[in-house]
């Protein structure tokens, strides 16, 4: 902000340049954090003998009044005052004469760095709660359909049978890692820059430890130049959010595929689908598609901030104003994606019969047959070749591997044939699949029925 006829500059800023540099339209969301920092700074100035007790009381009263007006939507934001800091300072000074002293020993450089850290710390707490809600929705869906078996895929080709709950819990694990990355970002954001000034601190004896305690930071910054230039904590947040968005996109893609007529495994609730403007029969999974699309936006914001930072010399440069729109939009997009995905997942209905039918193809047990041959004494590479040859023979005859007779399996001993029969023959396809899954009992991380039941119960307790 430049006042005509005062200080270093005499003339007015070009109106186009003034509008170009304005940030109050997006950084006003930091108002509450800016007010919190100002209250702490007032206490520090009092400790340093800059402010008298009555002045501090008047400043606090003025800041409280401004906060009430902002909450009630009555505060008048002025574009001419450029940013959130100058708007609040001007309003305070107009009401409280001592407000003109509040910026003593403080720069907008350390002020905005403090505001962003306060904002991020609070935002991450909200993000973690939203991630947990989506985890609960996935676990809840797994609990509702804990007996459902469907194919597991590699290369989008059917591979081996798994429990639906096992598939869903894979995403619960991903989301738990996302929470860990968010916690890491919050920990490194928990450093107080206030007191660093524009870049070289202050000649005034400001008690930064008092500010740290009042603002509940874990520690104070060690280097004043780094403190005002650092945006690593925002990069880490955007990296965590971008990867979280990728996880949501992968989940959305699975659910979109599974809801198609070609798969037919599940349906989203009508509230999370749309129709076609032309084709009356359509039921499109638009919400999941939007979540998938918005992941690109989240990745873009990470790249944008990294690109802004890569060429900046120390310390503060106006380029850093560009961090806020990227970070704010990423935070909003991430939070909304989590919230809508949790609700969409909770609306899903699973067609257990369609899942079982897809998983019942005996070829999905080919690996289990190879394992059984290994247990009967055959080397794995030989077992792999034998089973592969049997699958090929079945394809050439237009039949299935479980309908081949002993003579169709080349070079098997009686013991080997019994191993094949134990996996592929007898009982219903459903019973064979359950037997295959039960054979994974005792192998941690595998989709055995008892193991998955235990995992579901563990997550229910953990997410409480």
> Residue 232's CB: how many other CB atoms inside 10 A?
13
Residue 117: closest CA among 229, 233, 284, 238: 233
Catalytic pick among 155, 261, 277, 428: 155
Asked whether the beta carbons of 185 and 237 are under 8 A apart, the reply is yes
Q: Is 155 a catalytic residue?
A: yes
CA 133 to chain centre: 12
276 is catalytic: yes
Give CA–CA dist 201/224, Å, rounded: 6
Check: CB of residue 257 under 8 Å from CB of residue 263. Answer: yes
Cα–Cα nearest to 387, from 374, 377, 358, 399: 374
Q: Are 358 and 151 in contact (CB under 8 A)?
A: yes
Active-site position among 25, 80, 126, 276:
276
What is the dihedral angle through the alpha carbons of 355, 358, 360, 365, rounded to the nearest 10 degrees?
A: -110
What is the C-alpha separation between 11 and 17, in angstroms, rounded?
13
Q: Which long-range contacts (CB under 8 A, 24 or more apart) does 373-376 make?
A: 373/416, 373/419, 373/420, 375/419, 376/413, 376/415, 376/416, 376/418, 376/419
Could you give the residue numbers annotated as active site? 155, 276
């Amino acid at each position: 902000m430049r006042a005509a006829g005062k200080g270093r500059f005499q003339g007015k800023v070009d109106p186009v340049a003034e509008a170009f540099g304005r940030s109050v339209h997006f950084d006003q969301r930091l108002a509450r954090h800016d007010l919190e920092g100002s209250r702490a700074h007032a206490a520090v100035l009092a400790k340093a003998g800059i402010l008298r007790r009555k002045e501090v009381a008047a400043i606090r009263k003025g800041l409280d009044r401004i906060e009430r007006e902002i909450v009630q939507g009555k505060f008048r934001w002025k574009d001419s005052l450029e940013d959130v800091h100058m708007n609040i300072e001007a309003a305070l000074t107009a009401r409280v004469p001592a407000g003109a002293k509040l910026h003593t020993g403080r720069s907008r450089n350390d002020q905005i760095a403090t505001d962003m850290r306060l904002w991020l710390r609070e935002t991450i707490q909200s993000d973690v709660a939203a991630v947990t809600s989506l985890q609960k929705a996935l676990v809840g869906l797994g609990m509702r359909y804990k007996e459902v078996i469907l194919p597991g895929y590699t290369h989008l080709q059917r591979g081996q049978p798994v429990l639906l709950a096992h598939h869903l819990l894979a995403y619960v694990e991903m989301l738990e890692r996302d929470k860990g990355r968010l916690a890491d970002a919050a920990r490194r954001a928990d450093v107080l820059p206030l007191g660093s000034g524009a870049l070289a601190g202050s000649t005034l004896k400001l008690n930064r430890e008092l500010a740290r305690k009042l603002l509940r930071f874990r520690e104070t910054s060690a280097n004043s130049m780094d403190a005002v230039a650092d945006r690593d904590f925002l990069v880490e947040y955007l990296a965590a959010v971008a990867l979280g968005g990728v996880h949501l996109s992968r989940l959305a893609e699975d659910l979109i595929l599974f809801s198609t007529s070609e798969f037919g495994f599940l349906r989203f609730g009508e509230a999370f689908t749309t129709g076609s403007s032309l084709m009356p029969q359509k039921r499109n999974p638009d919400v999941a598609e939007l979540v998938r699309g918005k992941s690109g936006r989240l990745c873009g914001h990470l790249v944008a901030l990294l690109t802004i930072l890569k060429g900046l010399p120390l310390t503060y440069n106006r380029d850093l104003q560009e961090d806020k729109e990227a970070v704010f939009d990423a935070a909003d997009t991430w939070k909304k994606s989590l919230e809508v995905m949790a609700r969409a997942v909770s609306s899903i209905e699973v067609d257990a019969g369609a899942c079982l039918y897809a998983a019942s193809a005996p070829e999905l047990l080919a690996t289990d047959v190879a394992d059984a041959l290994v247990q009967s004494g055959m080397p794995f590479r030989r077992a792999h070749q034998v089973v592969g040859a049997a699958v090929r023979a079945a394809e050439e005859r237009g039949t299935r591997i479980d309908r081949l007779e002993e003579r169709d399996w080349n070079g098997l001993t009686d013991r080997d044939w019994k191993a094949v029969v134990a996996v592929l023959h007898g009982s219903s396809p459903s019973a064979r699949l359950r037997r295959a899954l039960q054979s994974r009992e005792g192998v941690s991380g595998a989709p055995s029925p008892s193991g998955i039941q235990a995992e579901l119960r563990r997550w229910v307790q953990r997410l409480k």
